Structure 1
Amino acid sequence: MLQADDILIFSKNAAHKIALIKQIISKFCSWFGLKINCKKSVVICGKVATLKEKKRIAKMLGFRLVNELNYFGVNIVLRRSVALDF
């Protein structure tokens, strides 16, 4: 999903596809003259991935691992949403 200069990438169990995802991001950046801001970039993984896998994915991409994020006022969370989220 693209919004302005933000990109959200969704993938099933990406642990074994990190090299491909990095390659896609790199090509996208070179095509559009963009650079990744690793300080603002984050990884959020579902409950199926182990903590070890989550850390590995974040480390390989060079991004922070988070459990939730707020994107344009919408909370993206890995837990059941509560009234406060809305």
Structure 2
Amino acid sequence: MTAEIGDKTKIVHRLRRLEGQVRGLQKMVEEDRECKDILTLLSGVRSALDSVGEEILEAYLAQCQTDLEPPTPAQLVEVVRLLRK
């Protein structure tokens, strides 16, 4: 993926924020925090991961528009499948 500088910076910042949230999850488990609190944060992390994945996919598709050879339908399906796993 070759993203625009602004897009890349935004994605990296979001991933760093997610990294902090995952560390927070680890700390919560180590501290025997309430399961509901852990699951609430876990749900937020999943949602944020899905969101950043969609941004990466969007950047990939934008890059494909500028390439000489756009991806085939099979390549697009493969990328979407990777995002959904």
TM-score normalised by the chain length of structure 2: 0.28
Normalized per residue, the structure richer in helix is 2
* TM-score of the superposed pair, with normalisation by structure 1: 0.28
Higher relative contact order (CA 8 A, sep 6+): 2
Larger Rg: 2
